[in-house]
């Protein structure tokens, strides 16, 4: 658990499996049955081929920081949370997902850092996948 706010996400028919898995502490990714493309953000449609036959796979839960910033002035649910890190993490399966990097000094996060998934429970029964430095 990190000390960051964990606002509950909008859950839709298309994204319910992702958030159900997150609640159980698993990071899953949609993959196209027709062309095997791993899809991000989660949707019931393959933007590579147009297929709607999409299944869910377990992600390794590890990745590399593609870009990161320390937000010094937050808004909304994060109004009191600064400083905190917003990053794109390139998952080992390919997609670059927006997330937070937690579990270390915000100024210590850098591009190229290896990170692993961790989950913060929301107050609505699901959990947000965040990342922390590998081995921290």
- If one asks whether residue 69 binds another protein (CB under 8 A), the answer comes out as yes
- If one asks whether residue 7 binds another protein (CB under 8 A), the answer comes out as yes
Task: Give the position of tokens 């699901």.
Answer: 126
Q: CA-to-CA distance for 51 and 38, rounded, in angstroms?
A: 12
According to CB under 8 A, which one of 20, 78, 104, 114 is a site residue for another protein? 78
Beta bridge partners of 85: 70, 101
- If one asks whether residue 86 binds another protein (CB under 8 A), the answer comes out as yes
According to CB under 8 A, which one of 1, 24, 108, 111 is a site residue for another protein? 111
Residue 72: strand, helix, or coil: coil
- If one asks whether residue 74 binds another protein (CB under 8 A), the answer comes out as yes
Nearest C-alpha neighbor of 69 from the set 14, 114, 21, 110: 110
Q: CA-to-CA distance for 59 and 92, rounded, in angstroms?
A: 8
Residues in contact with another protein by the rule CB under 8 A: 4-12, 14-15, 37-43, 47-48, 66-78, 81, 84, 86-88, 94-100, 111, 128, 130
Residues in contact with Zn ion by the rule CB under 5 A: 32, 34-35, 37, 46, 48-49, 51
């Amino acid at each position: 658990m990190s000390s960051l706010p964990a606002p509950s996400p909008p859950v839709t028919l298309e994204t319910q499996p992702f958030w159900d898995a997150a609640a159980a502490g698993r990071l899953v990714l949609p993959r196209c049955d027709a062309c095997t493309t791993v899809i991000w953000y989660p949707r019931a449609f393959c933007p590579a081929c147009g297929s709607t036959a999409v299944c869910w796979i377990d992600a390794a839960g590890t990745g590399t920081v593609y870009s990161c910033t320390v937000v010094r002035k937050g808004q909304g649910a994060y109004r009191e949370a600064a400083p905190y890190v917003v990053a794109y993490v390139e998952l080992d399966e390919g997609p670059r997902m927006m997330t937070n990097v937690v579990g270390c000094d915000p100024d210590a996060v850098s591009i190229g850092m290896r990170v692993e998934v961790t989950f913060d429970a929301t107050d609505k029964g699901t959990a947000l996948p965040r990342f922390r430095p590998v081995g921290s």
